[in-house]
Amino acid sequence: MIQSLFDLWVDDHISVDEMDIQTCKEIYNMHLPVLVWGTGIHGRLVSEILERNGISISGYVVGKNFFKPNQFCQGHPIHNVHQINTLFNECCLVLAANEISSEFQQILKFKEIKKIFCFERICTPCEISSSWIKTHLKQLNEVYQILADDLSQKTFISYLHGKSGVFESRTKESKLKNHIKIEPLWKLMEENQYFNNLYNINIHDRNILVDVGAYTGDTAEQFINYAPNAKIYAFEPEFDNYKILLNIAKKYDCIKCYNMGLSDIIGNANINANGSASQIMETTDDKSQKIQITIGDDLLENVPVTFIKMDVEGFECRALNGLSKTIRKHKPFLAICVYHLFDDLITIPNLIMRLTQPHHYKFFLRNHTPCCAETVFYACPDEQKFSQ
């Protein structure tokens, strides 16, 4: 166990460009077909990096729900990822998509995939520079110190390193000094996002979820299947998402929907309508909608909340501040996304630590995709007696 991030920091750390070159050299020297998982912007960027370093890819792969026969991307065939073992005797797989966790565990069993690579700094919603990490190393280390288990601390280190390369030196001597192997995030990935063994569903008469950023009701349905006797308060400000959420809610009698965002003020705001990545913002553009925002404490004053899940594209601190009374009164389990803004790993844990005082909580960090995304900070009240 690394006691401090200061034990890992090296002044002569490699740059992100050098990280890319190192990865490409390793891929090139394997002399195997190369497949890129993902055909979106990340997949195209990764393919460009590979080609600049003399690597011609053999094709792209996508999940079964995205696969259509006889499709191509940038002149290369697109394969169903589940058919890799029938199409190739041996290959390398380069990850370039964030939402692949449900199928990823199955693919790991394919003996035909000899090695998996990931350009983590590409497949991420925000950039973190090495200079920013050095400036804020003290604050980052304070968060690192409060994490309650080894997996959380390893995830924290791998998350920072994958974005910046700050814990790897150019020189062999400095590398040996640290005596640690920094695992890629895909090896640390936990499949069950939000609803996992950190939350004890058996100690409450009723499991009550506040779903902040409910999108189209996917997490609400997961919670109903996960927790007995569930009740859900679902907040989704983007109108098209909200319409789908309402249709999902009609299937159940335990989901109450609100077409508004949560904040620390009551009023109006704008949201950039972009599906699951819709973002509340202060400015307007061609895709923006005017929405209502409100204070969660006002709506949930008498609700004994047991679980708060939050994924609101960088608006988490504002929404948490508006739930401060609820958190202090009912001591709910918290699952808060911390990957949208470059300083989320500092600001959100520090805010949660303040909001949960004087109660005793344990804090965890998990990553739920193979890349630097869907990273969640969990706050578990001692009374829940979680099981690991």
Query: Does the residue 152 lie in any domain?
Result: no
Domain holding 371, by residue range, is: 207-384
Q: Are 89 and 223 found together in one domain?
A: no
Q: Evaluate if residue 127 carries a pLDDT over 80.
A: no
**How many other C-beta atoms lie within 10 A of the C-beta of residue 302?**
5
Please give the pLDDT value at position 286.
62
pLDDT digits (tens, 9 = 90+) for 34-62: 999 989 888 898 999 999 999 999 999 99
Are 261 and 369 in the same domain? yes
Would the pTM count as exceeding 0.85?
Answer: yes
d(CA 249, CA 260): 16
Interhelix angle 150-164/344-356, nearest 10 degrees = 150
3-state secondary structure of 151: helix
Q: Is the same domain home to 226 and 348?
A: yes
The span from the CA of 178 to the CA of 91, in Å, is: 32
Label residue 172 by pLDDT band (50, 70, 90): low
Q: Is residue 131 part of a domain?
A: no
- CA quadruple 342, 347, 348, 354: dihedral, nearest 10: 170
- DSSP per-residue codes, 156-202: HHHHHHHHH-TT-BSSHHHHHHH------HHHH--SS-SSSTTS-TT
Residue with tokens 């008498």: 302
How would DSSP label each residue in 344-377? HHHHHHHHHHHHHTTS-EEEEEEE-SSSS-SEEE
In this structure, is residue 317 part of a structural domain? yes
Among 101, 118, 135, identify where a domain stops: 118
pLDDT of residue 183 exceeding 70, the answer is yes
pLDDT of 100 higher than 70: no
C-beta separation of 182 from 158 below 8 A: yes
Of 40, 42, 384, 376, the C-alpha closest to 213 is 376
Spatial distance between the Cα atoms of 31 and 188, rounded to a whole number of angstroms? 27
Contacts of 137 (CB under 8 A, 6+ apart): 5, 6, 9
The answer to whether residue 44 sits within a structural domain is yes
In a domain, 236, yes or no: yes
pLDDT at 124 over 80: no
92: CATH: 3.40.50.20
User: What radius of gyration do the chain's Cα atoms show?
Assistant: 22
Distance of alpha carbon 249 from alpha carbon 202, whole angstroms: 24
What's the pLDDT score for residue 64? 87
**Listed residues 81, 103, 118: the one ending a domain:** 118
**pLDDT digits over 328-363, tens only?**
999 999 999 999 998 999 999 999 999 998 889 999
Number of domains, the chain: 2
3-state helix, strand, coil in the chain (%, to 5): 35, 25, 40
Tokens representing 19 are 């990280």
Does residue 360 sit in the same domain as residue 237?
yes
Query: Is 98 contained in some domain?
Result: yes
Domain assignment of residue 169, yes or no: no
Task: Enumerate the β-bridge partners of residue 212.
Answer: 235, 310
What does the block give as tokens for 123?
């497949």
CATH number, domain of 353, equals 3.40.50.150
Measured distance CA(273)–CA(34) in Å, rounded: 35
Backbone angles phi, psi at 212, to 5 degrees: -100, 115
In a domain, 106, yes or no: yes
Q: Which of 118, 137, 167 is the last residue of a domain?
A: 118
